Amino acid sequence: MTSNPYPLGLRLHGRRVVVVGGGAVATRRVPALLDAGADVLLVAPELTPALRARVDAGRLHWVPRRFVPEDLDGAWLVHVAIDDPMAAASVSAVAAERRIFCVRADDRTAATAWTPAVTRHGPVTVAVFGGGDPRRAMTVRDAIRDLLAVRLAPDGIAGRPDASTGTTGGRQAGRVALVGAGPGDPELITVKGWRLLTEADVVVADRLVPGLLLDELRPDVELVDASKIPYGPSRAQEEINQILVDRALAGAFVVRLKGGDPYVFGRGGEELLACAAAGVPVTVVPGVTSSIAAPAAAGIPVTHRGVAHEFTVVSGHLAPDAPASLVRWDALAGLHGTLVILMGLKNLAAITATLIAHGRSPQTPAAVVQEATTGTQRVLRSTLGEVAADLRAADLRPPAVVVVGDVVGALDG
Ligand SMILES: C[S@@+](CC[C@H](N)C(=O)[O-])C[C@H]1O[C@@H](n2cnc3c(N)ncnc32)[C@H](O)[C@@H]1O
């Protein structure tokens, strides 16, 4: 007779867990044990390359031989991850003798412990047992994961005691998160970025963040449109810094949502420094940057075997001869690899002329990708010598990324 399992959360930090077996099952099980801080001893004559890499990195101990009963000395838990039923049964018998719970990959009915299907959502872990049917457990787990990602987070996860005041009752109050929203497609925000967004009391958003992300905010979230701050660029940045600091010091959880990645021409560093100076804790959540995603969305890999071994991301917002420019365009002209130019449309004629004047061939393939990853994406393919004129003729506009290099045609059939 099978009775229901009794669910427990094992606190394994610093505690010995023995994994017997070094194949695919062990490879899947070990990361969660390490994540829980367990002191993992792996007993197996051979390991997969992934496990070997963890051993080499000093993350776990490995004894390269078959199991002996003494391996369980001091263990709190054992995972049997071998498909030899006789050997598995003998490990499990030693574990039972010593009252150590034993998970068995080969025969769950003979095991004294089961591993659930798990989804993790920030501080919350959901573990599902499927009544002996792992597929059922995974199906239920997937449904819960989707629900947590899309809907339940604002009220269910942040632990809001009083939703009407919009005050976060969870750990995030009085903090700022600098979150990269990705290049345009709302699905290209990271899972962590999305979760923090659903927990925010205040969202300070840039012009380039995907509108659909904002559309899904709760009605009580204060949305500050940073692109509407009516000053010049440097004063506007000071205002934004002040808004972040003021709202956080007032107890709010503030998400500063920025297009692409916060640290790629995103002024995220300035915002972090301003918060740090005011004693406000900051979390940085990297984003998918348009400098890589826009070429990718147009079918252009920024590197390609045998074609480009480097890519350089550069801002074109200042003309090459502008005294304030920090870019060595003459040096960039001497590179063979891929050049990705952001904010470069206005100065493109001067930029391409400078690159050609310093030796880059005018025949070098070039492309412009406008509004990448959105429904209005446009792609222009040209050459370094022609791209500025072609751009004007095609009437392409910002936001757009310019890609220069042989990678532009690398995937063409
Ligand atoms: C101020 S920078 C911010 C870059 C951003 N932090 C990132 O990592 O993508 C703005 C420039 O990024 C580029 N950009 C951002 N989103 C884009 C998109 N969806 N398509 C093409 N270019 C984009 C354009 O060159 C635009 O002028």
Give 182's strand partners: 260
Place of tokens 């700022």: 176
Residue nearest to atom 27 of ligand 1 (CA): 343
| Separation of CA 248 and ligand 1 centre (Å) | 27
Residue nearest to atom 22 of ligand 1 (CA): 400
Task: Name the residues annotated as catalytic.
Answer: 206, 228
| Separation of CA 276 and ligand 1 centre (Å) | 26
User: Can you tell me which atom of ligand 1 is nearest the CA of 208?
Assistant: 16
Centroid of chain to Cα 26 = 25
Q: How confident is the model at residue 170 (pLDDT cuts 50, 70, 90)?
A: very low
* DSSP 8-state code for residue 234: H
Give the residue with greater pLDDT, 108 vs 399: 399
Each residue's pLDDT tens digit, 341-386: 999 999 999 999 999 999 999 999 999 999 999 989 999 999 999 9
State yes or no: pLDDT of 160 exceeds 70.
no
Of the listed ranges 11-20, 165-174, 285-294, the one predicted with least confidence:
165-174
DSSP string, 274-341: HHHHTT--EEEE----HHHHHHHHTT--SSBTTTBS-EEEEE-SS-TT-TT----HHHHHT--SEEEE
| pLDDT for 132 | 80
Q: Could you give the CA distance from residue 348 to residue 371 in angstroms, rounded to a whole number? A: 17
pTM of the model: 0.78
Average pLDDT for 320-329: 96
| pLDDT for 150 | 64
Q: Ligand 1 pocket test: which of 290, 377, 401, 404 has the largest number of ligand atoms within 8 Å of its C-beta?
A: 290
Each residue's pLDDT tens digit, 23-76: 988 988 898 899 899 999 999 999 988 899 889 989 899 999 999 999 999 999
Q: Could you give the CA distance from residue 404 to residue 364 in angstroms, rounded to a whole number? A: 7
Each residue's pLDDT tens digit, 299-311: 999 999 999 999 9
| Separation of CA 290 and ligand 1 centre (Å) | 5
Q: Ligand 1 pocket test: which of 342, 351, 377 has the largest number of ligand atoms within 8 Å of its C-beta?
A: 342
Residue nearest to atom 25 of ligand 1 (CA): 342
Average pLDDT for 316-332: 96
